[in-house]
Structure 1
Amino acid sequence: MGFFSKIFKGPEVDRKKSDANAKKMRALFDQAVENGAGYRLIFGYTEDVSRFNYGFVHGSKTQIGNLLVGWKEEPQTIVVVPTVPDLSACGEPVYYRRAEILKAYRNKYPTDAFVIYPDKKGYIAINASDWIDEESLYVYVSQEEELAAFTDFFMNRFATK
């Protein structure tokens, strides 16, 4: 039974690689965000799907954006910092303060995403998973505990009713 359970178990998290990336994420976030160490942190991503229709050819093209997502209980703030899968660089942080957003909710369909509308003109949909085994597109990090904490924070303190 032990031999077969290993074969059919599927891929396992490389803890060493995951922990190294978690440290890189923290360093990048702390560098980009003032008082970044005061925030809890997860990896998230966003998808931009564009559809095309050229007569007989129909399809879609998806662009993925990697995100460092930090949150702080007080003053109920989420900070999103764009990054790349190898964590070699990051962009400017965007702050979403609960008191300043139009609405926020968790969307279950077509993808499980945390959606924030800071105003009537734009939004951000943050997708997050406890682990994605696709290093060429996403940051390789295991984050089951942190994702559960973020989900709790978002649903109980940040989402609009």
Structure 2
Amino acid sequence: MGLFGKLFKGPEIDMEKSNANAKKMRLLFNQVVEHGDDYRLIFGYTEDVAWFNYGFVHGSKTKIGNLIVGWNEESNTIVVVPTVPDLSGCGDATYYRQSEILKAYRNKYPTDAFVIYPDKKGYIGINAYDWLEDEKLYVYVSQEEELKAFTEFFLNRFSTK
């Protein structure tokens, strides 16, 4: 590969750190979801964009919410558990059962997100990538195979478009 190939390859994933975080995700998920081991897991995040306009200053501020996302193919259920980047804790689980949702689809623009409308009042947009390097904002975990499996599950079982 040579010196230049190594220089321009980009950052490499620390698999030891990734595997340790995957285990932490599993522990947190299992604490709040009954029969948690029946679910496959990925890390996802959601964004909340707040727009502001102060005369000459216009812009937006984005808040990132980290998520542990589990899915069970037998029950056609997605479970979302809020967490923090260092996986030091988590919130309560929210269940999205395929038979109970209003609509769901994969949005490609402006970001690649899985969008679920459980009813007419709210929705959740789950952004997920195979790996994100910024540990201050996101959980450090490599999940290429899991993300591929979740995408297939979502598009085949949940997507209404």
Identify the TM-score tier after normalising by the shorter chain: over 0.9
Aligned letter for 1:13?
A: I
Q: Within 5 A, what are the aligned runs for 1:66-81?
A: 66-81=66-81
- 1:63 corresponds to: 63
Following TM superposition, where does structure 1 have runs of at least 4 consecutive aligned residues deviating by more than 3 angstroms? Answer: none
State the alpha-carbon separation in 2 of the partners of residues 21 and 68 from structure 1. 11
The yes-or-no answer on 1:8 pairing with 2:12 is no
State the alpha-carbon separation in 2 of the partners of residues 36 and 3 from structure 1. 45
State the alpha-carbon separation in 1 of the partners of residues 26 and 75 from structure 2. 20
Helix, strand or coil at the partner of 2:44: strand
Helix, strand or coil at the partner of 2:99: helix
Structure 1 unaligned blocks of 5 or more: none
Structure 2 unaligned blocks of 5 or more: none
Q: CA deviation at 1:61?
A: 0.5
Q: Within 5 A, what are the aligned runs for 1:43-54?
A: 43-54=43-54
State the alpha-carbon separation in 2 of the partners of residues 109 and 21 from structure 1. 29
Number of matched residues? 161
Aligned letter for 1:121?
A: K
Aligned letter for 2:62?
A: T
- 2:145 corresponds to: 145
- 2:116 corresponds to: 116
- 1:24 corresponds to: 24
- 2:40 corresponds to: 40
Q: CA deviation at 1:137?
A: 0.4
Residues 74-106 of structure 1, C-alpha deviations (whole Å, 9 max, x = no match): 110000000000000000000000000000000
Helix, strand or coil at the partner of 2:116: strand
TM-score of the superposition, structure 2-length normalised? 0.99
State the alpha-carbon separation in 2 of the partners of residues 64 and 4 from structure 1. 35
CA-based RMSD of the aligned residues comes to 0.6
Q: CA deviation at 1:3?
A: 1.5
Q: CA deviation at 1:120?
A: 0.2
Helix, strand or coil at the partner of 2:109: coil
- 1:98 corresponds to: 98
